[in-house]
Each structure stands twice: as C-alpha cells, then as structure tokens.
Structure 1
Amino acid sequence: MTEPRVRLDDLGAWLIKGNADLVDLTARFARDPHVTSWCVRPGYRARLMRTGQPVVFWASGSRARLPYGVWGIGQVTGAAEPGPPGQPWSVPLDLRILAERDRVPRQRLRADDRLAALEVFRQPQAANPSYLTVAQFAVLRAHVPA
C-alpha cells in the first residue's frame, strides 16, 4: 500500500513523534517544556515544512503507565535542515509541551470516529514527520484544552 502524499492545500498540521521507550520524555519536558527543534526524516515531507505551519507533538511508546498521545502544539519556525553527515535532519520549532493534565491521551482520540484515519494510528512506526489534514487538525484541536 502506498502512503498518501501530503498536499499543502489540505495540510492541517505536521505531527512529530517522540518515543518514550527510547528517551525519558517526562524528565526531558519537566526540565524544559519548550521544544525548539526535532528530528525528521529527509524526504519530500521534510522539504514541505515551512515557517508558520502548525505542528503537534505525539508521545508514543509501549509502557501503559504514561498517557501517550498529544503532548504539545506549536509551529514550525523554519525549513528542515540536514544534520552533520550520518545524522538526521532537524526542523526548527516553537512548541510548548502541555501540562500533564492537559495532554490528550490516544485512547480519547481513537474513540473519536472522525480521527480514525489519522496516519499515526494507521502507521504508528512511520518516520517523522507525519501529518493531519485540515479537518483532522480541527477535530484534534477541539480535544485540547484552550
């Protein structure tokens, strides 16, 4: 199955993931909830990332002790850039991680039929960045406290 191509006219937001099984995201964000860059896979999606586009931070992992799902919302602040040889690309961001009480668990989002087609549900192991359509992002925003 071919992955659908992202179209800028229907891009609601980019979605970047962090795996809490690999990195202690809770401790990292307790120290500093402001995310200024994140790694992305080189490719056409990374090349579509532009200043001002919304971005959602999705915490993933297999440990049931954490409320995985949407942990933050912000925006892209520049073009994705290649890292040093052998290192991933990164994209500059202005993204704030939400307080724990405001994070939106994936179970709540999965229960919303309007979000059933989210790429992060269909292809949870896909590389960064993933994306949300305009309609999906509007629905997701309704789940995030103001």
Structure 2
Amino acid sequence: MTDRQVRLGDLGAWLIKGNADRVDLAGRFARDPRIDSWCVRPGYRSRLMRAGQPVVFWASGSRGHLPYGVWGVGRVAGGPVEGEPGAAWTVPLDLTVLDEPLRVRRELLRADARLAGAEVFRQPMAANPSYLTVAEIAALREYLPVPGSRPALGRL
C-alpha cells in the first residue's frame, strides 16, 4: 500500500501513537496526563508540523487489556526538534491525556464509516506522525468531551 501524501489543505490533525504493550502508558499518564513532547520520524511530515495545529494521541496495542484508541488531544507547540544523527526527532506538544472513561475506543471509531479509512487503521505500524483529514477530525470531535468539560480541552 502506498503512503498518501499529506497536504496542509486537508490536514485535520496530526496523530501521534504510543504502544501501550511496550511501555506502561497507563501508569505514566496516571502520574502525569500532560505530554510536552513526543518522538516523530524525520521527514516531510514532521517538517509540516507547526505550532497551533491540532494533535491527537493514539494508544495502540494488541493485548486487549486496555481501551486502545484516542487517549488525548491537544496542539502542536512548535516545530520539530532534530535529534542527533540517526536519532529520532521530537515535536513539542501541549496535549492532555483524557481521564480513562473519556478515552475513545478504537472499536467505536473503526465502526464509524467516516473514520474506518483513517491512516491509523490502514497503516497501524506506520511511524509518527500519522494524520487525520479534515473530515475525519470532524467525525472524531463527535466522540470527544465537550470543550469546557473536565478536563478542559480547548477547541480541537
């Protein structure tokens, strides 16, 4: 399957992933639900990331013991930071992980025809950052807490 070119005109939000099978994401976010940076792969997509763009955190995994899917929302806080040669880049974020009952399960999103074709489902092993189109983020908003509810998410 070929990689679709991301175009800023159809970019609804960046999507970054973390594998909850490899790292104790649940424990990490129970201690501190804020994410201020995350690893991204060097490339044209990372170079398109700018402060103020919406970003979604996707917890992935295969063990089925956690509610995988959208765990957090926020904004890109700045352009990517290049790592040492051969190392990953990072992108600064202003992102809050949702309380567990507010997280949106992947099964629910996959069942929504408007989201079933999202890149995270088509290419689940692809490197960060992934993305959601304008139409996909509009559909996802219907599942997220209302701005102003706890936690305060701002406008995604």
Q: TM-score over 0.5 for the alignment?
A: yes
Structure 1 or 2: more helix by fraction: 1
Aligned identity (percent) is 70
Q: How does 1:57-96 map to 2 (within 5 A)?
A: 57-96=57-96
Mapped pair 1:111 → 2:111: yes
The offset of 1:83, in angstroms, is: 1.4
Spell out, residue by residue over 1:19-64, the C-alpha distance to the aligned partner (whole angstroms, 9 max, x if none). 0111000010011100000000000000000000000000000111
Q: What displacement does 1:81 show?
A: 1.1
SS of structure 2 residue aligned to 1:90 = strand
Structure 2 residues not aligned, in runs of 5+: 147-156
Determine the structure 2 residue equivalent to 1:101: 101
Normalised by the length of structure 2, the TM-score is 0.92
* TM-score normalized with structure 1 length: 0.98
RMSD between aligned residues: 0.7
Find the counterpart in structure 1 of residue 41 from structure 2.
41
Paired letter, 1:43: G
SS of residue paired to 2:47: helix
Query: What's the secondary structure of 1:121's corresponding residue?
Result: helix
Q: Which residue of 2 aligns with 1:31?
A: 31
What secondary structure sits across from 1:143 in the alignment?
coil
Partners of 1:110 and 1:27 in 2: how far apart?
26
Aligned amino acid, residue 123 of structure 1: Q
The corresponding residue for 2:128 is: 128
* Structure 1 residues 6-17: aligned runs within 5 Å: 6-17=6-17
Deviation at 1:86, TM superposition (A): 3.3
Distance apart, 1:85 and its partner CA: 3.2
